């Protein structure tokens, strides 16, 4: 089957790399906003992860005419009433500074005992083409916020996101294990059949058109 371009509406190279790994079984060529420097700016002001993911997918699909994946994800901490939530990337300011975000999170949770440091990563994935939205799906992963960063793999809050059954953070577990349980893995697992059906349908239509011509 011919590989189809799927534009991922992100400039985050680490996130793109992770999405490529998780979708590697599909006949797709993943590109990103780094390949489309004239793409419109997207203001992520939605109330939910799904709102932001949908906005990204629709706006970039309309601009590019390409099958587009919009993704938004973040951390929701129980003791902080769901914060940082949709503000996860900018928790400490507008600079999207992972280390500063982690420091702020630890500061806010100072004195909170381990059993009360429950948290969940959430990922919303939206799929759209030039004609509109195709699907929005979500995946979650529960864990706990560690008392200090540990590990060097991953990005974002991974050095603090502890998986109790392993007694290790995502950053310690590494990509091989993380990619079997993460919020992004679970969301993309739901999104993959949608992408696959869309690609198969469009390939059939293209073949039919070629035979007619």
Which of 3.90.950.10, 3.20.20.70, 3.40.50.920, 3.40.190.10 is the CATH number of 4-212?
3.90.950.10
* Cα distance between residue 150 and residue 162, in whole Å: 9
Active site (annotated) includes residue 72: yes
| Domains of the chain by residue range | 4-212
Please list the residues that pair with 161 across neighbouring strands: 145
C-alpha separations of 164 from 13, 159, 170, 183, 213 in Å:
29, 14, 11, 16, 60
pLDDT tens digit sequence for 32-91: 999 999 999 999 999 999 999 999 999 999 999 999 999 999 999 999 999 999 999 999
Residue 12 has pLDDT above 60, yes or no: yes
Residue 201 has pLDDT above 90, yes or no: no
Q: Is the pTM of this model over 0.85?
A: yes
In which band, very low, low, confident or very high, does the pLDDT at 1 lie, cut at 50, 70 and 90?
low
Looking at 72, 98, 129, 158, which residue is catalytic? 72
Q: Report the percent of the chain where pLDDT is more than 90.
A: 86
């Amino acid at each position: 089957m011919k590989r189809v371009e799927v534009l991922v509406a992100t400039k985050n190279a680490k996130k793109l790399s992770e999405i490529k790994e998780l979708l590697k079984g599909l006949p797709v060529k993943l590109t990103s906003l780094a390949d489309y420097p004239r793409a419109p700016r997207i203001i992520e002001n939605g109330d939910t992860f799904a709102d932001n993911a949908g906005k990204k997918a629709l706006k970039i699909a309309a601009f590019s005419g390409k099958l587009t994946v919009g993704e938004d994800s973040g951390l929701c901490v129980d003791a902080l009433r769901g914060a940082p939530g949709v503000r996860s990337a900018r928790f400490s300011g507008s600079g999207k500074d992972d280390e500063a975000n982690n420091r702020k999170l630890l500061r806010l949770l100072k004195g909170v005992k381990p059993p009360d440091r429950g948290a969940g990563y959430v990922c919303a994935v939206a799929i759209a083409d030039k004609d509109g939205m195709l699907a929005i799906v979500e995946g979650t992963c529960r864990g706990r916020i560690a008392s200090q960063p540990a590990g060097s793999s991953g990005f974002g809050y991974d050095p603090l996101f502890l998986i109790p059954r392993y007694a290790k953070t995502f950053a310690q577990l590494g990509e091989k294990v993380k990619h079997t349980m993460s919020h992004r893995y679970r969301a993309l697992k739901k999104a993959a059949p949608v992408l696959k059906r869309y690609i198969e349908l469009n390939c059939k239509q293209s073949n039919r058109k070629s035979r007619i011509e």
